[in-house]
Amino acid sequence: AALLGFVRAMPKAELHIHIEGSLEPELIFALAERNGVRLAYASVDELRAAYAFTNLQSFLDIYYAGASVLLTAQDFFDMAWAYFLRAKADNVVHAELFFDPQTHTDRGVPFEYVIDGLSRACAQAWQELGIRGELILCFLRHLSEEAAFATLEQARPYRDKFIGVGLDSSEVGHPPEKFERVFAAARELGLHAVAHAGEEGPPEYIWSALDKLKVQRIDHGVQALRDPALVQRLVRERVPLTVCPLSNVKLCVFKDLRQHNLGELLAQGLVATVNSDDPAYFGGYMNQNFVETFAALELDAGQAVTLARNSFEASFASAADKARYA
Ligand code: HPA
Ligand code: ZN
């Protein structure tokens, strides 16, 4: 119990949070009402009851439906602000937020509304909560390379409002190398690069995220343990893994939390971090992920300190901020 109090109170960085995945059912209904959007569910309870997933795709279908209520810059602000209040409660002092512009621009929402609302929330989080918030633009990997290039082009005028690019959505069948050229173009703009790999997909996708996309972190990466040579490389190069324990259980990557390999990832010397992924859908925010995982895997204070340190090392925080967090 003392350990869990320590874990809750320690300062931490969150590096794997899809801001659209922080949209709580109550806010989905409030925004639907405000915007006159019709939902396929009659109530908050009915919507929540649909959150029973069998794999990544079964989640994504509902996640994209939930995002359909987001229309104005204010909607994006309200969503991100609600997240920052939750982050504050969990003593998250630095957060790098993924956003999926194509989910919105494909519905006719201007890219400008998305980035304006989100970046205003980040500015206010720093001013009022002392939380550093940064944005990472994710390409949807089930869409084409051409669509990803068009998105990067739309984003260019707002280059100073986001710090990197990522790759998310349906993994299996959409290997990283499909986006080799668009990631090269993004890195050319000085953007950081990360990618989801090895969530459901094979270790080969982690290799190609590193070699073809030249990413600085792997999102999820829990399948890496199937490939000892890959583990050796990730350890040697200190490539961080942004692990999301509650997500992995909800999407049936592990049967239950006691089967999760976070303890083994740490034991092998990997730079693993704990993150919430899509907290409104997967059963909790940062501290819920920490507390449930620590209880299930019987982790200790040393591992808590390592996870917090890893989160700052793995972050794209400035050198000055990293020194403050150390
Ligand atoms: N994996 C892939 N795409 C996603 C996820 C995830 O866990 N969450 C939101 N988009
Ligand atoms: Zn994710």
Neighbours of ion ligand 2 (CB under 5 A): 277
Percent of the chain exceeding pLDDT 70 equals: 100
Q: Whose CA is nearest to atom 10 of ligand 1?
A: 169
Q: Whose CA is nearest to atom 9 of ligand 1?
A: 18
Which residue numbers are catalytic? Answer: 199
The average confidence (pLDDT) of the chain is 98
Mutation test residue for ligand 1: of 139, 250, 277, the one with most atoms within 8 Å of CB = 277
Q: Which ligand has the shortest distance to the CA of 198?
A: 1
Biggest CA–CA distance in the chain, Å, is 53
Long-range contacts of 173-176 (CB under 8 A, 24+ apart): 174/141, 174/142, 175/201, 175/204, 175/205, 175/208, 176/205, 176/208, 176/209, 176/212, 176/213
Task: Tell me the ipTM for this assembly.
Answer: 0.96
What pLDDT does residue 326 have? 80
Mutation test residue for ligand 1: of 18, 64, 171, 242, the one with most atoms within 8 Å of CB = 18
**Rounded CA gap, 309 and 326, in Å?**
7
Ligand 1 geometric centre to CA of 24 (Å): 16
Instruction: Please say whether the beta carbons of 42 and 12 come within 8 A.
Output: no
Determine whether the annotation assigns residue 18 to a binding site.
yes
The model's pLDDT over 113-146, given as tens digits with 9 standing for 90+, comes to 999 999 999 999 999 999 999 999 999 999 999 9
What pLDDT does residue 295 have? 98
Query: Averaged over 173-195, what is the pLDDT?
Result: 98
Does residue 140 sit in helix, strand or coil? strand
- Ligand 1: does its nearest atom lie under 6 Å from the Cβ of 24? no
Residue 150 pLDDT exceeds 90: yes
The model's pLDDT over 22-36, given as tens digits with 9 standing for 90+, comes to 999 999 999 999 999
What pLDDT does residue 1 have? 81
Ligand 2 geometric centre to CA of 88 (Å): 21
Q: Exposed, middle or buried by CB within 10 Å (0-12, 13-18, 19+), for 67?
A: buried
Ligand 2 geometric centre to CA of 18 (Å): 6
pTM across the whole model: 0.98
- Ligand 1: does its nearest atom lie under 6 Å from the Cβ of 75? no
Query: Of ligand 1's atoms, which has the minimum distance to the CA of residue 168?
Result: 3
**Rounded CA gap, 179 and 20, in Å?**
22
- Ligand 1: does its nearest atom lie under 6 Å from the Cβ of 18? yes
- Ligand 1: does its nearest atom lie under 6 Å from the Cβ of 168? yes
The model's pLDDT over 228-275, given as tens digits with 9 standing for 90+, comes to 999 999 999 999 999 999 999 999 999 999 999 999 999 999 999 999
Beta strand residue intervals within the chain, DSSP E: 12-18, 92-99, 132-140, 164-168, 192-197, 217-220, 240-243, 271-274
Q: Exposed, middle or buried by CB within 10 Å (0-12, 13-18, 19+), for 320?
A: exposed
Q: Which ligand has the shortest distance to the CA of 170?
A: 1
What pLDDT does residue 3 have? 97
Mutation test residue for ligand 1: of 141, 278, 281, the one with most atoms within 8 Å of CB = 278
- Ligand 1: does its nearest atom lie under 6 Å from the Cβ of 12? no
Closest by alpha carbon to 169, among 231, 106, 112? 106
Determine whether the annotation assigns residue 277 to a binding site.
yes
End-to-end CA distance of the chain: 25
Q: Which residue has the tokens 């982790």?
A: 299
CA 108 vs CA 40, 79, 96, 187, 255: distances in Å: 20, 19, 26, 27, 39
The model's pLDDT over 61-101, given as tens digits with 9 standing for 90+, comes to 999 999 999 999 999 999 999 999 999 999 999 999 999 99
Closest by alpha carbon to 76, among 120, 106, 39, 44? 120
Query: Averaged over 304-314, what is the pLDDT?
Result: 98
What is the residue-wise DSSP string for 12-72?
A: EEEEEEEGGGG--HHHHHHHHHHHT---SSSSHHHHHHT---SSHHHHHHHHHHHGGG--S
The model's pLDDT over 171-182, given as tens digits with 9 standing for 90+, comes to 999 999 999 999
Ligand 1 geometric centre to CA of 169 (Å): 5
Domains within the chain, CATH numbers bracketed? 2-316 (3.20.20.140)
What pLDDT does residue 173 have? 98
